[in-house]
Chains A and B, each alone.
Chain A
């Protein structure tokens, strides 16, 4: 089977989940089929840095084209559909970038032969649709997150329309969780039989630097983009409540995003800045290090299609308290899942885990065992099966 994969590009602070997932799946997919990857990247470095990096991987990137992921540096701007002139300019700029990206993909792959098109998330959907129409090849879309996860407005944005067109045209859709599959049915009216749920995987590092808690006080970690979707401000509210009864507890937010300035302002206004650390976007090795030092992982996302960071934290044996609106809860039997708005339940669950070490350990061990069953290799096998089913 020859597969053409349109990838969102290298892992980047703006696309860390989808970037990591697409990259890991491609690595294993390349072992079981003929894979060609075309992805977003820095045009200037196509022939140097990028090529060199990817030669060390199991798959080779056919080409890198316009870096659309970095162009869309502020996701909020993409979705903003107010009538302000400035916003209209931003939106049309992003739409122009998308049109240009799509043209480049089509132009690059015209000379290649393949059996199936495999595209990840909305940025690559339009190119997938165009190629399907032009070459009459089957199209499989992999959904890592949806417009309805990223924004909480009641109206549909142009990105939603992009996604809808893709879902209607695709021969099959891979969803990263049942949670996402249900949202596809509910919000996009997609037939359930078209959707295949394949949970993400994890490859634990063979070695990682384990770190003892330096603070001699509980450490609660949040890892994710500092955007509305991930519930950073809810995390701060939870921190404020916990600090009232355990004033030495420390909180770390690992990640970057458009809300960083607001969140820092928030902690300084609440006068808890001395207990809340903003660690920035961390490379994977430092993320493992952070998880090994922490006591509890907390991600109160408003809507989390999967939640790779949660799976990684669980794989390190950390007890996880995440919102019930999280796909990863389906694969972690002991995840504690309050509603994303329910600060009190988050607070009491985390406090209990901090105080009851045995309970925390037991929960952590069970989730760790469950996480160990989820590998990228297994996920890639299931993806290959889905791709074969439409040829």
Chain B
């Protein structure tokens, strides 16, 4: 049985000890780290097994953080067809929930970077934690994407042997992902997983798209999303601390949209990542500390975007 494996490569952001007294200063918000592509087990398996094929979303800021030889290595697999590149947002963030204008900019910036580095225009779209709703369809069709991920559909269609369905507009197909081990169709993988767990009979999202049956048109009026660890939007945005941070980001977003300062925009987008929101889901002491730090950063952003 073939399995479609999708890998997501992003930066990890750890907050600095930013305090109330740092608001208005130039102190950095985050320390960003990344797991280099060459250090991952999937990179070693790709080198060893030429038959294995995977789909990858590389966030723009992740690609920018890599040295030239890493890009060269990815480029090799893109050229020989082992890696299918997926488009997404430049930063691995919740932009689509915050601002349509920023979301569009993020898609365009990511497409531009992919084109600059790999001279390719991806056909598939991979949103942060595979967020999808009908609202996104016009934007994705506008950018000529043929398919996008909608993992929440798997729950509704459990037991039905289908790998893709039409969205509300038949021009965009939805790919159903299942993070469960016994999935017959697709799974999202972790770049850091062990070599043994890598599915050697792997195919790509574009193959699924071609094979997919299109009997149904499926509407997703509500925003849904689920990450590779089966954590849904509620995990990231469900508690009162997360809601307050999200609400504050939302209130700042109109100003960020209009602002010409690219650094400010970058900070906003980095603070909108699932990783930041997951910090507010930790044990009580830790999440309260992170909350105070993140809210100080948002006050700084608010101040600087005036």
Contacts and interface: CB of A to CB of B under 8 A. Distances in A.
A248 B248 CA distance: 13
Contacts of A273: 241, 244, 247-248, 295
B156 interface: no
A286 B284 contact: no
Interface in B63-81: none
B194 interface: no
A264 interface: yes
Contacts of B248: 273-274
Contacts of A264: 241, 288, 291-292
B288 A286 contact: no
Contacts of A265: 240
Contact of B298 (A214, A274, A278): A274
Contacts of A286: 21
Contact of B288 (A214, A260, A271, A279): A260
B291 A277 contact: no
Nearest to A212: B24
B282 to A, nearest CB: 13
B253 to A, nearest CB: 13
A110 B260 CA distance: 73
By size class, the interface of chain B is 20 to 34
A252 B244 contact: no
A280 B292 contact: yes
B303 interface: yes
Contact of A289 (B21, B251, B284): B21
Nearest to B252: A274
Contacts of A280: 19, 292
B18 to A, nearest CB: 12
Contacts of B21: 279, 286, 289-290
Contacts of B244: 267-268, 271, 273-274
Given A252-B20, A268-B244, A286-B21, A277 B288 contact: no
Given A261-B288, A277-B20, A215 B241 contact: no
Interface in A240-254: 250, 252
A214 B23 CA distance: 8
Contacts of A277: 20, 292, 295-296, 299
B243 interface: yes
A269 interface: yes
Contacts of A278: 292
Contacts of B306: 216
Contacts of B247: 271, 273-274
Given A268-B241, A269-B240, A279-B20, A274 B291 contact: no
Interface string B140-162: 00000000000000000000000
Nearest to A215: B303
Interface in B14-69: 19-21, 23-24
Nearest to B242: A268
Nearest to A260: B288
Contacts of A252: 20
A284 to B, nearest CB: 14
A278 B287 CA distance: 13
Interface in A284-338: 286, 289-290
Nearest to A265: B240
Interface in B135-185: none
Contacts of A214: 23-24, 303
Contacts of B296: 277
Interface in A123-152: none
Contact of B240 (A260, A268, A290): A268
Residue of B295, B296, B299 with most chain A CB atoms under a 10 A cut-off: B295
29 contacts: A214-B24, A250-B299, A252-B20, A261-B284, A261-B288, A264-B241, A264-B292, A265-B240, A268-B240, A268-B241, A268-B243, A269-B240, A271-B247, A273-B241, A273-B248, A274-B295, A274-B298, A274-B302, A277-B295, A277-B296, A278-B292, A279-B19, A279-B20, A279-B21, A279-B292, A280-B19, A286-B21, A289-B21, A290-B21
